[in-house]
Each structure stands twice: as structure tokens, then as C-alpha cells.
Amino acid sequence: MPSSSGIPIRSTCEFKRIEDIQRVLGATAKAPGVRLSIGDDAAAIAPSQGCLLLLTTDSLVENVHFSRSYMTFRQIGYKAMAVNVSDIAAMGGVPRYALIALSMKKKEPAGNISRLYQGLNRCAQASGVYIIGGNITASSPSHADEGGFSVCVMLVGETTPYQMVRRNGARVGDILYVTGTLGEAAAGLEILKRSGSPRFSKLINRHKVPTLRIREGRALSTIASAMTDISDGLLSDLTHLIQASGVGAQLVSDHIPISPTLKHYCRETGNDPLPYALNGGEDYELLFTVPEKKINKLEALIAGRVVAACPIGTITSKGLRVQGASGRTVSVTPKGYDHLK
């Protein structure tokens, strides 16, 4: 294929799209580290000396991850970038460069592509990321008038060998922390699917516009022994972390941070907020472990408002247990989101 990054220049028809996209993005070729941006067979970057490059990719697919009935194209673009930024933040890295692979029905209005790129670029700018290439292709022709849109982001981040935080570093006795509050994005999606009630816009926004935790990830990069982001749900992502580390964990249910808005919503609907926080996906908060000897450093970051985080449990030798309000502990299994089921 001709110019897969640079966004391909396959014809006059596509060429107009690329010009539209370049207008939205501005002059990324002059960005720090960028040697070659959109318009050639590949983009080129000059990595910072001694750095490691982090590579991640994640896609949003129409009617799987979003519906255009409740998300604007700007929001879809923003979120597609944000979920990738979350992966780099969870490694303690600095997000830097992105490629965008779009797939869409042939008659997708050009304005939707521009708006998608506006959203992608808004999140990119908020994250210090430059969009330097990509590709546009038709989606499978079985899609009729609606659907078939997907956006795949490949994000490159930088870190150093000493600051990269993996999932596998948790040790028995480490304290388990989480940033922000949990469960709101899942409640927001529930509201969108049921009625779209505008009363709980804060919950809806948590689903539509993931919080960026880049600063927190960087600050934690020399403190956390293990880290991941919460995308599938606390229990599910914690399971990945403890499996990678070969340890177990015990959560204290009373310590799991639940926002007043989610509590309010649950009072109205007669639901328990805890399952939202334990199993609801797409919080994009950071879940991390801290060794006893570094707790003071973390507490200083929390006191200095660099990181908003709270302890929710401890790392044990095996199993995954939750201590309830009664003091009784129970074994649990994750019920996180699996889009292939």
C-alpha cells in the first residue's frame, strides 16, 4: 500500500481527505523528535538518547465500543487516543507519537472524518502527542447505511529502563492503590444504554471522556513496584497484575473509592455501588502497588496533590479476596468486560 504512514495518497478523492486531515493537525513535521510526518511511505522519528520506546495499540469499533447515536465523532476521536494514552501512562511513560488507522464505509461524510481528527488531536495535544501518520481504508462492504466505522491508534511513548513500570513487580506486603474513583464509567454507559438521562452527566462523561493520568503515571514511575490501568474493571485488571507478579491480593471493600455521584445514582436505582467499582470497566484509573519503604514518598505526592490515590488493599501470597464491611473476607473472581463473549 502506498503511503500507509503518511496517510495514504491513493487518489484525488483520498487526497482531499488527507489535506483535510493535515489542516486539522497543523504542522506536525516540526514537532520535537519528528523527522518526517504525514505524506511519505513511513513517518520517521529520532528517539531521545538512552530511552526505551513503548508501543501500544487499541481500537474503538462502532457498535462494539461506541454508538454514533450517543457519541459525537469528536468524542470518539478523543476517547480512541485517550485509551492508548492510558496504556503508556500505566507503564510510567511519556506519550509522544501516534499513527491512526481508520476504516469506514465508502460514503462516510468527510465532515465526520474531520471531527474525528479534531477529537484525536485534542486529546493528543492534551497529552503531548503528535499524530504523524496513518491510513484510511474502506470497511467491509456488508455494512449498509450505518456502522462499519473503526479507529485504531498506535501510540509510541518514551521512558527509561529505570522508570518503566511493569505489571510483574508486585511483592507480598506491598500496598495496593488506585487513583481517582471507580465505577462511574460503567454507570454512565448503563445510563446511555437505558435512557440517556441528562441528570447524571458526570457519570456519562466518565464513560465518554476518560481522564488522562499521564502526570500520575510519571510521578509513580520511580515509586510503584507494579502498575496497570483499569479498563476491564478493578477485579479483572488486578487479576492480570497479580498473575503477572505471581502473588495474590486482598481488597478492603470499604476503602474502594466511590464518588458521591455514583452513590447518589445507586440510591435512586436501588443498586449497590460496589459491583460497579469492582467489575465496571473503562475507568482508566491507575492501579498500582507500592513497597512499604516507599509509602512515605507516595504519601508526599498525595499530600502535594500530584497524585490523587488511596490504598485499597494489600498484596498477599495467593488468591484474590475482598474483605467486606462485616470484616469477613470472601474469595472473588473477576467479571470484567469481555467484548468477544
Contact call for residue 70 and its own copies (CB under 8 A): no
Contact call for residue 137 and its own copies (CB under 8 A): yes
From residue 17 to residue 46, what is the string marking binding to its own copies with x (rule CB under 8 A)?
x-----------------xx--xxxxxxxx
Pick the stretch among 22-30, 198-206, 227-235, 324-332 that binds its own copies (CB under 8 A).
227-235
DSSP state letter for 166: -
Contact call for residue 142 and its own copies (CB under 8 A): yes
Among all chains, which residue has been given the C-alpha cell 472473588? 332
Residue pair 95/217 in contact by the 8 Å Cβ criterion: no
User: In 239-253, which positions are buried (b, 16+ CB within 10 angstroms) versus exposed (e)?
Assistant: bebbeebebbbbbbb
CA proximity to 252, closest of 328, 181, 180? 328
Binding-residue total with its own copies (CB under 8 A): 93
Contact call for residue 134 and its own copies (CB under 8 A): yes
Contact call for residue 54 and its own copies (CB under 8 A): yes
Residue pair 104/147 in contact by the 8 Å Cβ criterion: no
Residue pair 237/289 in contact by the 8 Å Cβ criterion: no
The nearest distance, CB 171 to its own copies, in angstroms, is: 17
The nearest distance, CB 174 to its own copies, in angstroms, is: 18
DSSP state letter for 66: B
- Read off the amino acid at residue 192: L
Contact call for residue 212 and its own copies (CB under 8 A): no
CA proximity to 132, closest of 44, 9, 41? 44
- Read off the amino acid at residue 299: E
In the list 24, 25, 91, 186, the residue contacting its own copies (rule: CB under 8 A) is 91
Pick the stretch among 154-162, 183-191, 249-257, 268-276 that binds its own copies (CB under 8 A).
154-162
Q: Using the minimum distance from each CB to its own copies, give the nearer residue, 33 or 257.
A: 33
Cα–Cα separations (whole angstroms), residue 146 to 59, 67, 104, 109: 19, 10, 10, 11
Contact call for residue 339 and its own copies (CB under 8 A): yes
Pick the stretch among 92-100, 186-194, 290-298, 323-331 that binds its own copies (CB under 8 A).
92-100
In the list 22, 114, 121, 150, the residue contacting its own copies (rule: CB under 8 A) is 150
Contact call for residue 183 and its own copies (CB under 8 A): no
Q: Using the minimum distance from each CB to its own copies, give the nearer residue, 266 or 309.
A: 309
Pick the stretch among 101-109, 117-125, 189-197, 260-268 that binds its own copies (CB under 8 A).
101-109
Residue pair 158/124 in contact by the 8 Å Cβ criterion: no
Q: What's the start-to-end Cα distance of the chain, in Å?
A: 33
Q: Under rule CB under 8 A, which residues in 284-303 are in contact with its own copies?
A: none
The nearest distance, CB 339 to its own copies, in angstroms, is: 5
Pick the stretch among 116-124, 146-154, 189-197, 297-305 that binds its own copies (CB under 8 A).
146-154
Cell numbers of 92, please?
510510567
CA 194 to chain CA centroid, Å, is 24
In the list 128, 147, 275, 311, the residue contacting its own copies (rule: CB under 8 A) is 147
Contact call for residue 176 and its own copies (CB under 8 A): no
The nearest distance, CB 273 to its own copies, in angstroms, is: 22
Residue 323 CB: number of other CB atoms within 10 A? 17
CA proximity to 235, closest of 182, 305, 163? 182
Contact call for residue 144 and its own copies (CB under 8 A): yes
Distance CA 69, CA 83 (A): 20
Contact call for residue 180 and its own copies (CB under 8 A): no
Q: Using the minimum distance from each CB to its own copies, give the nearer residue, 31 or 266.
A: 31
CA proximity to 117, closest of 68, 61, 156, 78? 78
Q: How many CA atoms lie within 13 A of 122 on its CB side?
A: 16
Contact call for residue 99 and its own copies (CB under 8 A): yes
